[in-house]
């Protein structure tokens, strides 16, 4: 894996995170050296799986900022995929808020002009909030491929999510 390109897979606290192994496997099949970063909320959802996720990726799973005198434990990313991207993290990302490691990475990545893909997981009520349209427009205008709508993730009726239909493949096609 050492000469593979490095993908930071950043997962937020939405149901596809319970199947983050699928995302890791697909990324690895696509040739990426995957480093998993979880928001603090997402980390609570997969607490039991941490040793397995670490073993799968071959890297520590990061969930929080390091202390100033601690070393960097992950290689630098060549690209970042935020999947699942929550309503919360998307809106904070567009606002330049960086109070989680995940947000710190993606807010800086806009300035670094890294390839950035976001695959949301939202219901129709969240998608109808007026902030979301502005967020998506802003992120797209600043170089982020936001896979929302046709060809990406289409918001579901509240409480009727379809985990089997989560379009991981669209994310890897966008990164290719
Ligand atoms: C069972 C459950 C399901 C949730 N599903 C979603 C979801 O599909 N999309 C979403 O944006 N937020 C969802 N949320 C809300 C997020 O978990 C919440 O906004 C959280 O603060 C997100 O934090 P993060 O963006 O730092 O991961 C869900 C929460 C719970 C408890």
Q: What is the pLDDT of residues 10-49, one digit of tens each?
A: 999 999 999 999 999 999 999 999 999 999 999 999 999 9
Name which of 120, 115, 116 is nearest 149 in CA terms: 120
The confidence score (pLDDT) of residue 19 equals: 97
For residue 1, is pLDDT > 50?
no
CATH number at residue 96: 3.40.50.1950
- Dihedral sign computed on CA atoms, order 65, 26, 5, 137: negative
Q: How far is the CA of 14 from the centre of ligand 1 (A)?
A: 5
Helices (H) and strands (E) in the chain, counts: 8, 5
Pull the structure tokens for residue 34.
């995957």
For residue 51, is pLDDT > 90?
yes
∠ at Cα 140 (94, 160), nearest 5°? 80
For residue 123, is pLDDT > 90?
yes
Global model pTM greater than 0.75 = yes
Number of domains the chain is built from: 1
The residues lining ligand 1, judged by C-beta closer than 6 Å to any ligand atom, are 12-15, 39, 41-42, 86-89, 100, 121-122, 126
- Dihedral sign computed on CA atoms, order 22, 25, 31, 35: positive
59: domain range? 5-175
The confidence score (pLDDT) of residue 2 equals: 57
Alpha-carbon distance of 147 to 174, in angstroms, equals 9
For ligand 1, pick from 14, 38, 82, 157 the residue to mutate: most ligand atoms within 8 Å of CB.
14
Mean pLDDT for the stretch of residues 66-84: 96
């Amino acid at each position: 894996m050492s000469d593979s390109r490095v993908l930071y897979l950043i997962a937020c606290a939405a149901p596809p995170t319970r199947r983050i192994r699928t995302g890791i496997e697909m990324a690895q099949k696509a040739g990426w050296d995957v480093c998993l970063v979880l928001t603090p909320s997402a980390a609570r959802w997969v607490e039991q799986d941490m040793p397995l996720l670490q073993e799968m990726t071959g890297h520590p799973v990061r969930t929080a900022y390091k202390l100033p005198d601690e070393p960097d434990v992950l290689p630098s990313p060549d690209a970042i995929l935020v999947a699942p991207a929550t309503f919360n993290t998307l809106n904070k990302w567009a606002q330049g808020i960086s109070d989680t490691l995940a947000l710190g990475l993606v807010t800086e990545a806009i300035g670094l002009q890294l390839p950035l893909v976001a695959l949301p997981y939202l219901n129709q009520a969240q998608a109808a909030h007026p902030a979301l349209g502005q967020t998506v427009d802003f992120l797209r205008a600043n170089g982020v491929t936001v896979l929302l709508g046709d060809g990406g993730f289409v918001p579901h009726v509240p409480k009727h999510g379809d985990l089997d239909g989560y379009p991981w493949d669209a994310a890897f096609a966008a990164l290719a």
